[in-house]
Structure 1
Amino acid sequence: MPDTSPTTYADLHADAVATLSRWTATSPAAAASRDRTLSLLAAGPVAMSRAHRPGHVTASALVLDPDGGRVLLCLHRKIGRWVQLGGHCEPGDRSLAAAALREATEESGITGLTLDPTPIDVDIHEVACQGGSRHYDVRYAVFAPAGATEQVSDESEALGWFPSDRLPEPLAHATAQLVAPALSALARRAAG
Structure 2
Amino acid sequence: MHRQSLLDQLTAYAAKHPEEAETVSQFIDFVASESDCFERSLAAGHVTGSAWIVSADGTQVLLTHHAKLDRWLQLGGHADGDSDVLAVALKEACEESGLKDFEPVGEGIFDLDIHPIPARKSDPEHLHYDVRYLLRATGNTDYIVSDESHDLRWVPLNDVAALSNEESMLRMVRKCGLRLP
Q: Does residue 162 in structure 1 map to residue 152 in structure 2? A: no
**C-alpha contact (below 8 Å) 1:73/1:161 kept by paired residues:** yes
User: What is aligned with 1:70?
Assistant: 60
1:183 positional shift: 4.0
2 CA distance for matches of 1:182 and 1:26? Answer: 14
Q: Distance in 1 between matches of 2:95 and 2:165?
A: 20
Q: Which among 28, 31, 36 is matched to residue 26 of structure 2? A: 36
Q: CA deviation at 1:147?
A: 4.0
Moved >4 Å (runs of 4+): none
Once residues 113 and 58 of structure 2 are traced to their aligned partners in structure 1, the CA distance between those partners, rounded to angstroms, is 22
Give the match's secondary structure for 1:86.
strand
2:89 paired residue number: 100
Asked if 1:180 is matched to 2:174, the reply is yes
- Is contact 2:101–2:140 with CA below 8 Å preserved after alignment? no
Structure 2 unaligned runs (5+)?
Answer: none
C-alpha separation in 2, matches of 1:134 and 1:71? 25
User: What residue in structure 1 maps to residue 103 of structure 2?
Assistant: 114
Distance 1:126 1:25, change over 3 A: farther
Contact 2:38 2:47 in 1 (8 A): yes
Among 46, 57, 61, which residue is 2:51 paired with? 61
After TM superposition, the score normalised by the length of structure 2 is: 0.87
| Alpha-carbon distance in 1 for matches of 2:158, 2:18 | 19
1:38-93 Cα offsets, whole Å, 9 max, x none, are: 111122330111211221111111110011111110000011110001111033x3
Determine helix, strand or coil for the equivalent of 2:51: strand
Map 1:145-160 to 2 at 5 A: 145-160=138-153
Supply the distance in 2 between the matched residues of 1:73 and 1:104 (Cα, whole angstroms): 10
Deviation at 1:168, TM superposition (A): 5.8
Q: In the TM superposition, what is the alpha-carbon distance from 1:180 to its structure 2 partner?
A: 2.4
Over aligned residues, Cα RMSD in angstroms? 2.0
Aligned counterparts, 1:13-52, within 5 A: 13-23=3-13, 24-26=15-17, 28=19, 30-52=20-42
Contact kept, 8 Å, 1:86 with 1:103, in 2: the verdict is yes
Distance 1:172 1:73 in 2: 14
Q: Which amino acid aligns with 2:171?
A: Q
Residue 171 of structure 1 deviates from its aligned partner by: 2.0
Q: TM-score scaled to structure 1, two decimals? A: 0.82
Equivalent residue, structure 1, for 2:117: 127
Structure 1 position 94, deviation (Å): 4.4
Tell me the equivalent position of 1:7: none
- Deviation of 1:115 after TM superposition, in Å, equals 1.8
Instruction: Count matched residues.
Output: 175
